[in-house]
Amino acid sequence: MFFEDFQVGQKWESKGRTITDADVVIFTGITGALNPLFLDEEYGKKTRFKGRIIPGLLTASIAVGLTYQLPSDPFGEGFVALTKLEMDAKKPVKIGDTLRTVVEVTDKKEREKDGRVYLTIRTLNQLGEEVMTLKMEILCSKRS
């Protein structure tokens, strides 16, 4: 999408994606986030979460990935860069949870040759509970 294609108030909803053990193992291996809370079920059982949880940055990464897969493709041809990302974790996510996102254009600011588009990405689990909110600023080219 180009800057002109975004309209404040516009919303999209992604498909769902179920989190697997392989997702956690690959993510923690790549990032080095080898926290026992993510990898050791017995350790996790002794915490307030009563079991393993997935890393918040993995939840955020999956939410952004689901946004990339929207039919409108907000990160398509006109997309230049992700310039800001704020994360607000609200509930733990566990292996077996299915996540989907609701993406809303909350603002846009035109500049001479491009513009900034502000998105709010609400990440929901299979029960419809909001597990994370991302606020994203992207830089987009203009059509002309």
Q: Is 71 exposed, middle or buried (0-12, 13-18, 19+ CB in 10 A)?
A: exposed
Would residue 92 count as lying in a domain? yes
Range of the domain at 127: 1-139
Structural domains in the chain (count): 1
- Place 143 in a pLDDT band, splitting at 50, 70 and 90: confident
What confidence score (pLDDT) does residue 41 get? 95
Would residue 53 count as lying in a domain? yes
What confidence score (pLDDT) does residue 122 get? 98
Would residue 47 count as lying in a domain? yes
CB of 39 closer than 8 Å to CB of 75? no
Read out DSSP for 5-33? G--TT-EEEPPPEE--HHHHHHHHHHH--
* Paired tokens of 5: 């294609």
- pLDDT, one tens digit per residue, over 53-106 is 999 999 999 999 999 888 777 777 888 999 999 999 999 999 999 999 999 999
Would residue 144 count as lying in a domain? no
What confidence score (pLDDT) does residue 68 get? 87
Would residue 16 count as lying in a domain? yes
- Read off the pTM: 0.91
CA distance 54 to 97: 10
Q: What CATH number is attached to the domain comprising 33?
A: 3.10.129.10
Please determine, for residue 19, whether its predicted confidence score (pLDDT) is greater than 90.
Answer: yes
**Smallest Cα–Cα separation from 38: which of 64, 56, 16, 63?**
56
Q: What are phi and psi of 29, to 5 degrees?
A: -65, -45
